[in-house]
Amino acid sequence: MSRSPLTFACIWALLLGASAPVSAEPAGHVTCEITENGETATGVISIQRDGKEVATSSCGRELAVPAGEYVAALRLDGAFDGPEQRQSIQVKPGAPHTVKVDFATGVLVGRIASSGRRAAGMAVIRRRGQQLGSLGSGVQAHVSVGTYRVLVRYRTQEKDLGDITLQAGQHLTLDASFE
């Protein structure tokens, strides 16, 4: 099967076009550092422009993005409430830009008992009227500092523990006893 010189020219043009850079804008480099209560932690960075994600990566890895103004949204891995911090950043051509954030968290543990013995149940965690999720008895969760409403359920019974305020670095056990 023979090919015409026009076919080869078209293929050559496509190959040259495919190897061209996606953006002609000079790139800058963004990295992030996340800490939790001052200690090194892991998380994810999302670089956004006009509400649309331009790039995303795990913190610690360098991202190349065209120079310009962005919002960097950083999320902490493993936190129950999915905390996020945002910063406006200016990325300059060829220049590194490091975004640093610290997440203040504490630990909540639900402990449920019935007739003096450990029992299976759930602690429903809410913040500002919105349910974040539930924790099984004995399960601990890293949660952002703040005030939470806690409702504990055991079988058909419920107890409202009211508003619980968690401080940075605090390890708070929520005890609920049922008869």
Number of domains in the chain: 2
Q: Are residues 98 and 109 in the same domain?
A: no
Q: What is the pTM of this model?
A: 0.79
Residue 64: the pLDDT is: 92
Report the alpha-carbon distance of residue 88 to residue 78 in Å, rounded: 24
pLDDT tens digits, the chain, 179 residues: what are they? 455 554 444 444 444 444 333 445 689 999 999 999 999 999 999 999 999 999 999 998 999 999 999 999 999 999 999 999 999 999 999 889 999 999 999 999 999 999 999 999 999 999 999 999 999 999 999 999 999 999 999 999 999 999 999 999 999 999 999 98
Q: Is residue 53 part of a domain?
A: yes
Both tokens assigned to 2: 């023979």
Q: Is residue 18 part of a domain?
A: no
Q: Is residue 3 part of a domain?
A: no
CATH number, domain with residue 97: 2.60.40.10
Q: Are residues 93 and 116 in the same domain?
A: no
Q: Is residue 148 part of a domain?
A: yes
Q: Are residues 82 and 116 in the same domain?
A: no
Q: Are residues 165 and 126 in the same domain?
A: yes
Q: Is residue 16 part of a domain?
A: no
Short-list 136, 125, 32, 123, CA closest to 82:
125
Q: Is residue 4 part of a domain?
A: no
Q: Is residue 173 part of a domain?
A: yes
Residue 4: the pLDDT is: 53
Q: Are residues 98 and 118 in the same domain?
A: no
70, exposed or middle or buried, with CB in 10 Å at 0-12, 13-18, 19+?
Answer: buried
Residue 121: the pLDDT is: 94
Q: Are residues 132 and 149 in the same domain?
A: yes
Q: Are residues 76 and 109 in the same domain?
A: no
Domain range enclosing 34: 25-103
